[in-house]
A and B are shown apart, each in its own frame.
Chain A
Amino acid sequence: MVRDLIIESTALTKSYGPHVALDSLDIKIFQGATGLLGPNGAGKSTFLKTMLGLIQLTSGEGKVLGFDIRTQGDQIRQRIGYMPEYDALNPGMEAIHQVRYSGELIGMNPNIALQRAHQALEYVGLGEQRYRQVSTFSTGMKQATKLACALIHDPALIIADEPSNGLDALARNFMLNTLETTVKLGNRSVLMASHLMDDVERVCDNIVLLHKGKLAAQGKIEDLKAIDREVEIHVWGAASKMEEALSDGGMNVRREGRIMRIGHTGDETYNQILQTAANVGSQVRRMHDHEASLEDLFLVIMERLGHEVKSSDDLLGGV
């Protein structure tokens, strides 16, 4: 199936004086759900602002939904629903009027905006709460209201900046379900910036990974996971000898107790492992391909970039 290209950039560069925030990005994002990842300071916010047509590029070009980000920012923002990471709601307004007003700011007729606000709030699960003031809402309800504001005009692309930020398990689950439904049943596209790898993995099929303003990786998550393929074994006896022998044999080994993960270099890897086990007198009680998570993938990419990241939690610490 040929999917539509919704975001495309060629040599996109944005500098603030000597600081290069985005460095010659060549990005292609197709219809569907895409996760935008990267440590703090990687350029995610700058990238989102350029996609909204809000800042002037230093060089390069880009298109969103076929519109030029340098000259057609208004058209782009009419077709995008942006859900900001931080509070963007007037606490003194009722949810229904907040969402209606956000529709009017897009250019919707007030009556139609009101009608759509009812539908959007119903969709995000706030149907019965729509006449409550935003100040009385929990964090989850505020996030849902922001999503309703983004969805009111049925945008072709929803940019969700940390949509599950500060949500408890139930609200997070509902938020992610809603985004999934919007993509799969609503046939809309979502560009989701998040620090939470599990969330991105659940909603998105594709990722774009930025690092220090440069494109570190982009593509389908499944394809990218192949760069971090490992075989996991559970050994019994002589585990240290086994680890040493595998390392001496030129294999990449990570060990935690009896469990080892060995870099998959080809089909011969399985035989090499079994042969080594036989040589050192260790029992391999279980052997299977390890399914890497997005977090594993992220760590591998960062490692290759020479970036000192131990876990996705480090991303939140301003590395």
Chain B
Amino acid sequence: MSDVPAAEISVEPPFTPAEAKEESFGADTPVTGQTKMQAAWSADSGDTDSSAQVASMNEGQIFEQIYQPWSGTLNPRWMRNWAILRHHVLGIFKKGHRPWNVPTKLFIFFVIIASMTDVAMALLFGMIGDTTLYDIWGVSRDNMYGHVMGFFPRNILYYPIVAALLVGGMISEDRSHGTSAMYFSRPINRFDYAAMKFLSVALILIFIINGTLALYYFVDILVMGKGWAWIIDTFPMFIATFICGILLSVTYTSIGLSLSSVSRGRFFPAIGLIAILMGTRSMAAIIDGLFDKSVLYVISPYDAVAHVCQAMIGTEMTYDHPWVWSLISVVVMNGLALYLLANRVSSLEVTRE
């Protein structure tokens, strides 16, 4: 038993309860609490004194800065690449990822809807049983080619503009915002960076072009109750068209991204891509009209891909020169664009831009 009388044992609370009070402070007030610090770092002009709720206790602070260690395991390379891909693609639909601007999102939505006009027409005329109109809109060799490679409106108003909006700031904004440092100071190499950016744009384009193509084809099968014979007959055409969609998406993406990689803003790559696509085609069309020579179409990315696709799908050729020249042109154009892209991405800095 202790000799100390019970009455002499002082019973004190372990701490003095804190009471909130309003406190104002100016620029020279020392930063001792979290809310004060936040007020000090606030984004206002700094002309007004900020105020914050702080504890009345002299001892201790509200904001105790504690370093919290972490000892988890890190995922391998493919997961890091997946993060880049997800960041760009999911940004179209969700917050918290790459912030695409509202006009881009709206235009993509519009193009997806507009690209499905043939789906809607085939569905409509298939369901009401008008065979004449269905023959115009239903799945055929020419219609599938037209879905992907039709010039007006798809390859003048829809796909090139979507591509231009997508590639606009894809790399150039990393250069202007300095976010390239965020990638390259982490275990992301230049190839992975460029490849994931490329895939992000190409996948969105492929989703729009080929996704609606697949919908068009399979809706026709379901609505019209097409049999195996029809499917076996048309499926190679569908696959050829699908590959054409990929070729078109890849070509637009590689040219667009190479322009993005040489720029610091989003306007030049976007307008540059459209200028290249439309300018080369216009020039080739003028030469063709004046001299009846279609060979200059090999410098037009759209026409080169279209010519190759005509050969692949088996539609009527609209160019006089051999399609192999266009194929070579597509390969060279993509090769040059990718070379420029690789070259410029390798020049992105970590320490300063």
| Interface residue ranges of B43-95 to A (CB < 8 Å) | 43, 63, 65-72, 74-77, 79-80, 83-84, 87, 95
A270 interfacial contact with B, CB 8 Å: no
Give chain B's interface residues, CB within 8 Å of chain A.
27-28, 31, 34-35, 37-38, 40-43, 63, 65-72, 74-77, 79-80, 83-84, 87, 95-99, 173, 177-179, 181-189, 350-353
Q: A54 to B348, alpha carbons, bound, how many Å? A: 11
Q: Does B71 contact A107, Cβ atoms closer than 8 Å?
A: no
Query: Complex formed: what's the CA distance from A107 to B78 in Å?
Result: 9
List 28 A-B residue pairs with CB atoms under 8 Å apart, sorted by A's residue number.
Answer: A45-B352, A49-B351, A52-B350, A77-B185, A78-B187, A80-B185, A84-B181, A87-B177, A88-B182, A97-B97, A104-B87, A106-B186, A107-B74, A109-B75, A116-B70, A125-B65, A128-B34, A128-B35, A136-B43, A140-B41, A144-B41, A153-B70, A154-B70, A170-B31, A170-B40, A174-B40, A177-B65, A188-B67
> Do B181 and A88 have beta carbons less than 8 Å apart?
yes
Most A Cβ at <10 Å: residue of B38, B43, B69, B188: B43
Contacts of B27 in A (CB 8 A): 168-170
**Is A84 in contact with B72, judged by CB distance below 8 angstroms?**
no
List, in ascending order, chain A residues with CB within 8 A of B183's CB: 105
Question: Do the beta carbons of A141 and B181 come within 8 Å of each other?
Answer: no
Q: Are A106 and B72 in touch, CB under 8 angstroms? A: no
C-alpha gap A94/B96 in the complex (Å)? 7
Docked Cα-Cα span, A104 to B87, in Å, equals 10
Contact B43–A102 (Cβ < 8 Å): no
Indicate whether A237 reaches chain B with its CB closer than 8 angstroms.
no
B265 to A: closest C-beta gap in Å: 14
Does A110 count as interface, using CB distance less than 8 angstroms? yes
Number of A-B contacts (CB under 8 A): 160
Question: Is B43 touching A141 in the complex (CB atoms < 8 A)?
Answer: yes
Which residues in A have some Cβ–Cβ distance to B below 8 Å? 45, 48-49, 52, 54, 73-75, 77-78, 80, 82, 84-94, 97, 100-102, 104-110, 112, 116, 119, 123, 125-129, 136-138, 140-141, 144, 149, 153-154, 161, 168-171, 173-174, 177-178, 181-182, 185-186, 188
A101 and B70: CB pair below 8 A?
A: no
Point out the residues of chain A lying under 8 angstroms from B97, CB to CB: 97, 101
Residues of B within 8 A of A123 (CB): 65-68
A residues within 8 A CB of B63?
A: 125
Closest to A48 in B: B351
Q: Which of A86, A87, A108, A129 contacts B75, CB < 8 Å?
A: A108
Provide the bound-state CA to CA distance between A105 and B74, in Å.
Answer: 10
- The chain A residue sitting closest to B84, CB to CB, is A105
Query: A128-B38, A170-B40 in contact; A82/B68 too (CB < 8 A)?
Result: no
Which B residues are CB-close (under 8 A) to A171? 40-41
Q: In the complex, are the beta carbons of A110 and B83 less than 8 A apart?
A: yes
CB distance from B206 to the nearest CB of A (A): 24
A105-B183, A171-B41 known; A86 and B353 CB under 8 Å? yes
With A48-B351, A107-B80, A107-B187 known as contacts, the answer to whether A141 contacts B41 (CB < 8 A) is yes
CB contacts (< 8 Å) of B351 on chain A: these are: 45, 48-49, 84-85, 161
